[in-house]
Chain A
Amino acid sequence: MNPAAGPDLSMFNRFMVTFRKGDIIFCEYEPGDTFYLLQSGRVQIVQLMGELEKNIAILQPGQIFGEMAILEEAPRSATTIALDEVKALEFTRENFEPLMMGNPQIALKLLKLFVNRIYEQKRLFMTLTLEDVEARVADVFLMLTERQSLDTSSMDSVELKNTVEDVSRWAGIPSGQCREVLNHFVAQRRIELHPDKIVVKNINDFARFVASRRKHQEK
């Protein structure tokens, strides 16, 4: 919530906490009873999957994190790291209910956040059920395109502001293997690989490829 545009949170200033760049805010598996409203700086959410650190999301000011622990007595499900110097409002289980009652807009925001997270995780699950690694990488392209809410019915080329690392994390494969797959696509002239972006030349072609692999797998 941008403090300027969102509800007035100045009465919560006593809950302000600051983290230095690189600091872990909380660790996966740690018991947690706090959640945060990010005021400034970016926060990365990661999960350790075996030997892979998987990027779940990068949060911008105005977003909420740590919200899972607030509703249930359960360990944190991900690790959060400050990507910049981070300022956030820290709330506890005790002051959570009154906060929600007094700030229904925050409660609503939280509800939408849950909805989106559930959808994202379901989408990720769909990707991971693909056995073929090329299909998985292709499906990550589709997922990243969906997130940009582009209408791909009238266009083929899509620019994804993602790196090889991002793709490998979303596809759940080691980055070396992911690079091999991407290089193969480059050799076939189906994508262009840049340091900060991936240009997918024909996203609909990848959509057909993924659909056929899914169908094949169901048989």
Chain B
Amino acid sequence: MPKAVQYRANSIIYFKGDQSERIFLLNAGKISLSYVDTESGQEMRDLIKTGEFFGVKSALGHYAREETAMVLQDSTVMAFSVGEFEQLATKNTRIITKMLKVFSNQLRRIHKQVETLLVGDEQVNPETGLYKIGEYYMKNKRYGQALHAYKRYLVYYPSGAFAADVTAKIVSAEEFLSRYGSGEPPASAAPAAPPAAAAPSAPAAAAQQAKTDGSDLAQQYYNAVSLVSQEKYMEAFKAFKKIIDGQADGEYATKAEFEMAKCLFYLKQFDSCIKSFTVIVQKFPKHPEMKDALFFVARSYEEKGDKARAGGLFKKILTMGTEDDPVIRKVKKALRALEGGQA
């Protein structure tokens, strides 16, 4: 049972630093709490109102008192053990709701103070903040998370300052996601830099289509793409072959053919890789991923030791796109490595 306790003026109920598990409720009188403000370092003093609890946080959290409770005028308080307080609060949840409001304000305040220490006193508005989260994950190649943040941005700020940029980045993030899965790109195919806005590509468009028709074939295709991202190239190769053998939907068979040729490269079957891509390129002279196809052919020649052919092809790819295209950046890097190797 909680007990009523009388305190005389100028007495101390507890000191800062004391360990105690008692919670108090002021029935009558005048009591103040004095403490040092974490932010300013100033000595602060708050008056307790009649009917108000004090000593709650340190008792519930089992840590030392953070303030000194001083009696200013003769007072009566109710002293509760933690158990007694819990019993009372569960019978009257309004006590808890009220405290939650006070505590959540305190928590926000201390959050802000911590943030100020870490990044300085700049106020980030929520729109910029949300955009920056997308940027952070994009930069760190965490495409799934980047995608989520960007999409949330468009939900709340469809005509916001970054809307156009975000829309373009969603396309890139989807492309990278479908190519590499949500994790890191495999080292051999990693882009030289974080991807910038790129034109919609076949995998991105396909990803959207897969969502709308949700067919088994699409599922099979993306499962196989996921195997590529896990660097399980042999399994991926077999999975793509199964799609082609099924001869069902022409679209996925074509895509699968392309991915199979890529697998051949990773499986170090360079001659077969060159042959497969040559067939694809002849069949589809305007293939949306022509640059990528030629890139793998060039890399295959390089691996075979034919640096002249590899270099010639790399240079050809460079004429097909601009700096903001991830493939172009990848090719530039490969070309530098190739020429550096020759020197």
Within the complex, what minimum Cβ distance (angstroms) separates B248 from chain A? 28
**Given A48-B136, A115-B57, A121-B114, A71 and B101 contact (CB-CB distance below 8 Å):** yes
Which of B106, B108, B148 interacts with A23 by CB under 8 Å?
Answer: B148
**Given A30-B156, A124-B114, A115 and B145 contact (CB-CB distance below 8 Å):** no
User: Which residues on the B side are within 8 Å of A51 (C-beta)?
Assistant: 136
- In the complex, A24→B152 CA distance in Å? 11
User: Which residues on the B side are within 8 Å of A176 (C-beta)?
Assistant: none
User: Which residues on the A side are within 8 Å of B110 (C-beta)?
Assistant: 118, 121-122, 125
- In the complex, A152→B237 CA distance in Å? 58
Identify which of residues 96-130 in chain A touch chain B, using a CB-to-CB cut-off of 8 Å: 97, 100-101, 104-105, 107-108, 110-112, 114-119, 121-122, 124-126, 128-129
| Binary per-residue interface labels of chain B (90-102) against chain A in the complex, 1 for a CB within 8 Å, 0 otherwise | 1101001101110
Can you give 6 contacting A-B residue pairs, CB < 8 Å?
A72-B105, A74-B108, A81-B145, A104-B96, A117-B107, A125-B117
Q: A48-B132, A111-B60 are in contact. List 16 more A-B contacts (CB 8 A).
A: A22-B182, A24-B145, A27-B152, A30-B126, A48-B129, A68-B108, A72-B101, A75-B126, A81-B145, A104-B89, A111-B99, A112-B61, A115-B57, A118-B61, A121-B107, A121-B111
Interface size class of B (residues with CB under 8 A): 35 or more
**Given A30-B130, A81-B145, A128 and B117 contact (CB-CB distance below 8 Å):** yes
The answer, yes or no, to whether B343 is at the interface (CB within 8 Å) is no
The answer, yes or no, to whether A40 is at the interface (CB within 8 Å) is no
Closest residue of chain A to B38, judged by CB? A125
The answer, yes or no, to whether B63 is at the interface (CB within 8 Å) is yes
Whether A27 and B133, one on each chain, are in contact in the complex, defined by CB atoms closer than 8 angstroms, is yes
Which of B63, B114, B129, B148 interacts with A125 by CB under 8 Å?
Answer: B114
Within the complex, what minimum Cβ distance (angstroms) separates B306 from chain A? 41
Closest residue of chain A to B149, judged by CB? A27
User: Which residues on the B side are within 8 Å of A124 (C-beta)?
Assistant: 114
Identify which of residues 131-156 in chain A touch chain B, using a CB-to-CB cut-off of 8 Å: none
Closest residue of chain B to A109, judged by CB? B96
Whether A114 and B118, one on each chain, are in contact in the complex, defined by CB atoms closer than 8 angstroms, is no
Whether A100 and B118, one on each chain, are in contact in the complex, defined by CB atoms closer than 8 angstroms, is no
- In the complex, A118→B130 CA distance in Å? 24
Whether A48 and B100, one on each chain, are in contact in the complex, defined by CB atoms closer than 8 angstroms, is no
Within the complex, what minimum Cβ distance (angstroms) separates B87 from chain A? 10
Whether B91 and A104, one on each chain, are in contact in the complex, defined by CB atoms closer than 8 angstroms, is yes
The answer, yes or no, to whether B124 is at the interface (CB within 8 Å) is yes
- In the complex, A72→B111 CA distance in Å? 15
| Binary per-residue interface labels of chain A (46-69) against chain B in the complex, 1 for a CB within 8 Å, 0 otherwise | 011111111000000000000110
User: Which of A24, A72, A124 has the most CB atoms of chain B within a 10 A radius of its CB?
Assistant: A24
Whether B118 and A107, one on each chain, are in contact in the complex, defined by CB atoms closer than 8 angstroms, is no
| Binary per-residue interface labels of chain B (139-158) against chain A in the complex, 1 for a CB within 8 Å, 0 otherwise | 01010110011001000100
Interface secondary structure of B, over-half rule: helix
The answer, yes or no, to whether A84 is at the interface (CB within 8 Å) is no
Identify which of residues 20-63 in chain B touch chain A, using a CB-to-CB cut-off of 8 Å: 38, 56-57, 60-61, 63
**Given A111-B89, A115-B61, A118-B103, A79 and B38 contact (CB-CB distance below 8 Å):** no
The answer, yes or no, to whether B271 is at the interface (CB within 8 Å) is no
Identify which of residues 115-136 in chain B touch chain A, using a CB-to-CB cut-off of 8 Å: 115, 117-119, 124, 126-127, 129-130, 132-133, 136
Whether A111 and B119, one on each chain, are in contact in the complex, defined by CB atoms closer than 8 angstroms, is no
User: Which residues on the B side are within 8 Å of A117 (C-beta)?
Assistant: 107
**Given A125-B110, A128-B114, A119 and B63 contact (CB-CB distance below 8 Å):** yes
User: Which residues on the A side are within 8 Å of B119 (C-beta)?
Assistant: 49-50
Which of A22, A122, A172 interacts with B117 by CB under 8 Å?
Answer: A172
Whether B114 and A100, one on each chain, are in contact in the complex, defined by CB atoms closer than 8 angstroms, is no
- In the complex, A143→B53 CA distance in Å? 28
Whether A100 and B111, one on each chain, are in contact in the complex, defined by CB atoms closer than 8 angstroms, is no
- In the complex, A54→B130 CA distance in Å? 16
Within the complex, what minimum Cβ distance (angstroms) separates A79 from chain B? 6
- In the complex, A117→B127 CA distance in Å? 26
The answer, yes or no, to whether A31 is at the interface (CB within 8 Å) is yes
- In the complex, A68→B129 CA distance in Å? 18
Whether A29 and B103, one on each chain, are in contact in the complex, defined by CB atoms closer than 8 angstroms, is no
- In the complex, A185→B169 CA distance in Å? 43
User: Which residues on the A side are within 8 Å of B38 (C-beta)?
Assistant: 122, 125-126
User: Which of A48, A67, A74 has the most CB atoms of chain B within a 10 A radius of its CB?
Assistant: A48
